[in-house]
């Protein structure tokens, strides 16, 4: 239990973070859980205004055991310091434990590599995880080791200032060869397990923008670069499918062109051809501008080589 008095005027979450020593994100979560009282009444919004001298009480939940166990799983670490690390995730690795994937995830590997020193903002199930890429998408992720780094990175993701570029192999040849795809993305009405582009006047879903450029024309396919202006669930996969050029190998949104089915079967390529190739952001602690690149994995290089003939 924490109690005391607010020291400054302003938003409740900010004032409580200053007065309690907790991170602002932690305070927001505690307010949402009904664990914060202000002058004897439950606080309902972290954005509420508060005045100096207001009395607060924060009921901290008892510490929970880590939901994920540390596992000695090799990681391809691209960069690491005391506050964050950038990892090149292989296709097939789930980012964090969930139903059906209790272990063998990136989080299990990170807990071992970092000896448990990861940001706790997302709780025990997703320590350090600021953003995700799909299980069968390969490439770069940034992971927070400190709460301060997590908050700084989360802010950059929220204001879309982080640079993210993906390389993908899509079916057919986009026309025009480069352009922008804009469309709200939300749960599909037909299949709740899938995402879909929704009407512009839809009241649900989130605005999403993907800028694409054809890098190489292939046989019944193309290597494209996608720059994300937003970061929505399955964004590249859904947007490319929406313009008639789904990613090769995508089991959910794709349909392999008939002339390429034998090639994909021969290569045993059975995942969406998508790789998070570059990631750029401002280091949330040092203020340094950082940019990282990860080469295409072997399976995508083989796919490109075969379809370039």
| Listed range (165-174, 201-210, 285-294) with the worst mean pLDDT | 201-210
122-155 pLDDT, tens per residue? 777 688 899 999 999 999 999 999 999 999 999 9
Judge whether residue 188 has pLDDT over 90. no
Q: Looking at residue 62, what is its pLDDT?
A: 67
User: How crowded is the C-beta side of 82, counted as CA atoms within 13 Å?
Assistant: 3
Q: Looking at residue 133, what is its pLDDT?
A: 94
Q: Looking at residue 274, what is its pLDDT?
A: 98
Burial class (CB in 10 A: 0-12, 13-18, 19+), 179: middle
Q: Looking at residue 66, what is its pLDDT?
A: 44
Which listed residue (13, 134, 136, 147) is catalytic? 134
- To the nearest whole percent, how much of the chain has pLDDT over 90? 61
> pTM of the prediction?
0.77
Q: Looking at residue 116, what is its pLDDT?
A: 77
120-130 pLDDT, tens per residue? 877 776 888 99
Non-local CB neighbours of 58 within 8 Å, separated by 6+ positions = 1, 2, 3, 16, 20, 22, 27, 30, 35, 36, 37
Confidence of residue 44 (pLDDT cuts 50, 70, 90): confident
The residue with greater pLDDT, 290 or 97, is 290
With the CA atoms of 276, 277, 283 and 287 taken in that order, what torsion angle do they form, in degrees rounded to the nearest 10?
A: -140
Token readout for 225 is 């670069």
Q: What span, in angstroms and rounded, lies between the C-alpha atoms of 56 and 18?
A: 12
147 flagged as catalytic: no
Confidence of residue 63 (pLDDT cuts 50, 70, 90): low
Q: What span, in angstroms and rounded, lies between the C-alpha atoms of 260 and 300?
A: 14
- As a whole number, the mean pLDDT across the chain is 91
φ and ψ of 207, to 5 deg: -55, 135
């Amino acid at each position: 239990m924490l109690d005391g008095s607010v020291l400054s005027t302003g938003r409740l979450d900010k004032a409580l973070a200053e007065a309690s020593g907790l991170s602002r994100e932690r305070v927001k979560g505690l307010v949402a859980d009904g664990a914060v009282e202000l002058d004897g009444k439950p606080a309902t919004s972290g954005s509420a205004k508060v005045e100096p001298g207001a009395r607060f009480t924060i009921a901290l939940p008892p510490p929970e055991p880590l939901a994920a166990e540390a596992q000695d799983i090799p990681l391809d670490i691209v960069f690491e310091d005391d506050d964050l690390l950038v990892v090149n995730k292989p296709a097939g690795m789930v980012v964090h434990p969930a139903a059906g994937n209790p272990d063998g995830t990136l989080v299990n590997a990170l807990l071992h590599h970092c000896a448990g020193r990861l940001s706790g903002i997302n709780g025990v199930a997703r320590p350090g995880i600021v953003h995700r890429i799909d299980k069968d998408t390969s490439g770069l992720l940034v992971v927070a080791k400190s709460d301060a780094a997590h908050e700084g990175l989360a802010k950059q993701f929220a204001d879309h200032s982080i640079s993210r570029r993906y390389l993908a192999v899509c079916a057919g040849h986009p026309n025009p060869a480069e352009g922008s795809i804009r469309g709200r993305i939300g749960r599909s009405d037909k299949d709740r397990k899938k995402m879909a582009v929704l009407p512009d006047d839809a009241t649900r879903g989130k605005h999403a923008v993907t800028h694409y450029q054809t890098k190489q024309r292939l046989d019944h396919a193309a290597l494209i670069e996608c720059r994300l202006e937003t970061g929505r669930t399955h964004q590249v996969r859904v947007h490319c499918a929406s313009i008639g050029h789904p990613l090769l190998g995508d089991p959910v949104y794709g349909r392999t062109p008939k002339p390429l089915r034998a090639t994909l079967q021969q290569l045993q390529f059975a995942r969406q051809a998508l790789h998070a190739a570059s990631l750029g952001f401002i280091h949330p602690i040092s203020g340094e501008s950082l940019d990282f690149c990860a080469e295409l994995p072997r399976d995508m290089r083989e796919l490109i080589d075969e379809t370039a003939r």
